[in-house]
A = this chain, B = another copy of it.
Amino acid sequence: MLIVKKFGGTSVADKERIYNVARRIAEEYRKGNEVVVVLSAMGKQTDVLLSMAKDINPNASKREIDMLLVTGEQVSVALMAMALDTLGVPAVSLNAFQVAMHTTSNYGNARLKRIDTERIRNELENKRVVLVTGFQGVNKYDDYTTLGRGGSDTTAVALAAALRADACEIYTDVDGVYTADPRIVPGARKLNEITYDEMLEMATQGAGVLHNRSVEMAKKYGVQLVVRSSLNNSEGTVVKEVVKMEKMLVSGVACDKNAARIAVIGLEDKPGVAFKLFNHLANHNINVDMILQSVGRDGTKDISFTVKEDDIDEVVAILERHREGSLKCQHIDVEKDVAKVSIVGVGMMSHAGVAAKMFEALYDAGININMISTSEIRVTVLINEAHVEKAMNAIHEKFLLSQA
């Protein structure tokens, strides 16, 4: 068996944890398996490096920031190789240049294009554990790039796909994927299985376990993922194409507090207004999430939408800039104290009334719904941020998610 394992920064934060991980790797290796391990930078090292950069130059170029950041993972893999050596396990550390992790050229948020597997295959043939730096790549200019936050998950999945690995295990500080965040919903239950699509919706809607780009890639290449704890030996959650039929309509409830709502009131009611508005935002790489358009007073119309709360100042600045030109409107409302709550489940494709059941739960709990958006396997509502905990528990209870 060829197994790809990924451990995050907290799993390699200090000597003791490095040895914990090393022992788990050694165990796998001693079973006779080929093992490829992807590591993140130790603990908060990426943040430390970023603040060094900020201190030198608050507007440092992304190319140089990537050059700086990639040292973090390189330290992790070298130290892990040393730890494995003391356990009698031959290992070799490789960075993005050595593997040849080809990415697109955009620094700070590159996408993996192609991975050369020759070096890794050679090292595996020589019975070595191969330790690969996560999160980083090399672009066509022979410069380092990084894959954005959470990019080590993507590195692991991409390696598993390229090597046709038998398993891809993502180790984290939780036991797996839960029906809801257990810190918010005490009755939340660990799922044994979840589909790619559900996981993708969960990840996009705020479940922090897996990076959504890595799930996308796993689905595309059919890489079976397991999300497991780095602290214990419990089974974890398997992410795959089809899961056993269960009676459950809904697999989980997710929330995302990093949301803000903007209402543009009194826009001219003529063709192209919505296009212009969202085109301005797209030109600045602002992701818009939920959108609602309604008829306003006196032949005008109103458009409301949500963006990440981090982007709100930029969004307002863009809108104000165009208010006298292509985006004439009466006023612009901003609401930051909102959060998205979503239910996700492949079951709802074949069952009517799932959304209604969610709304009923919220109504019973006395929670007002601001906006609604749906996909085939997801229903999301925008509510007041103060009601998130109550809402999630009410929905979780309504769908009886704590009972398997």
Contacts and interface: CB of A to CB of B under 8 A. Distances in A.
Given A64-B78, A64-B81, A97-B97, 11 more contacts: A15-B55, A18-B56, A52-B75, A56-B82, A59-B86, A60-B85, A64-B93, A67-B78, A68-B78, A70-B74, A98-B142
B60 A68 contact: no
A192 interface: no
A61 B85 contact: yes
Contacts of A53: 78-79, 82
A68 B53 CA distance: 20
Contacts of A98: 142-143
Given A57-B86, A60-B85, A64-B85, A52 B79 contact: yes
Q: Size class of A's contact patch?
A: 35 or more
Interface of A: 15, 18, 49, 52-53, 55-57, 59-61, 63-65, 67-68, 70-71, 74-75, 77-79, 81-83, 85-86, 92-93, 95, 97-98, 119, 142-143
Nearest to A95: B67
B82 A57 contact: yes
Nearest to A56: B82
Nearest to A74: B71
Given A15-B55, A55-B15, A98-B142, A64 B82 contact: yes
Given A52-B79, A79-B52, A119-B142, A67 B57 contact: no
Contacts of A83: 56-57
Contacts of A61: 81-82, 85
26 contacts: A15-B55, A15-B56, A18-B56, A49-B75, A52-B75, A53-B78, A53-B79, A53-B82, A56-B82, A57-B83, A59-B86, A60-B82, A61-B82, A61-B85, A63-B92, A64-B78, A64-B85, A64-B93, A65-B82, A67-B77, A67-B78, A67-B93, A68-B79, A71-B71, A98-B143, A119-B142
Nearest to A71: B71
A121 B303 CA distance: 54
A57 B15 CA distance: 10
